[in-house]
Amino acid sequence: MILSRRPMALLGTAVAVAAVLPAAAQTADDRAVAHAVESLTRAMLNPDRAALDALAHDALSYGHSAGRIETKAQFVDNLVSRSNPFGEINISDQTIAIVGDQAIVRHNFTGNTTGGGRVTPVRIGILQVWTKQGSNWRLLARQAFVRPPA
């Protein structure tokens, strides 16, 4: 089959539009929540008390995959103390659902911690609940869970 320039141009335009649609379908809140998740990830890799404090809601419930639950103060203190620092964090397969002034975020979290002089791999699933306060999104709840082996 031989295609002329016009069908090729139309095909190229259709492919370009299809590639942009998912990004265009994102709302301003979707983008703001995604940015907040990225900011939290950066703050967990390089713990900064002010950044963590600004991203976490005062009523934060932070659940670990082993079952430990932390308050905002415990979450921030544990990261800043660097007793079990993250060496690497990778987020994949993220979804964001906005429900009023709340956002439900799910993603896969892989990476490692480097506490105690050893590297420990991390492979967990994450559920986060973010709440909008003014124009800022703050982490209200987070629960990690063990993912089945790949």
Which domains does the chain show, CATH number per domain? 27-146 (3.10.450.50)
The two structure tokens encoding residue 145: 């869970």
Left, alpha or beta for 55 (phi > 0: left; psi -120 to 50: alpha)? alpha
C-alpha span between 90 and 86 (Å, rounded): 11
**pLDDT, tens digit (0-9, with 9 covering 90-100), for 92-148:** 999 999 999 999 999 999 999 998 889 999 999 999 999 999 999 999 999 999 988
Q: Which pTM does this prediction carry?
A: 0.81
Tens digit of pLDDT for each residue in 20-46?
A: 335 446 899 999 999 999 999 999 999
What is residue 123's three-state secondary structure?
strand
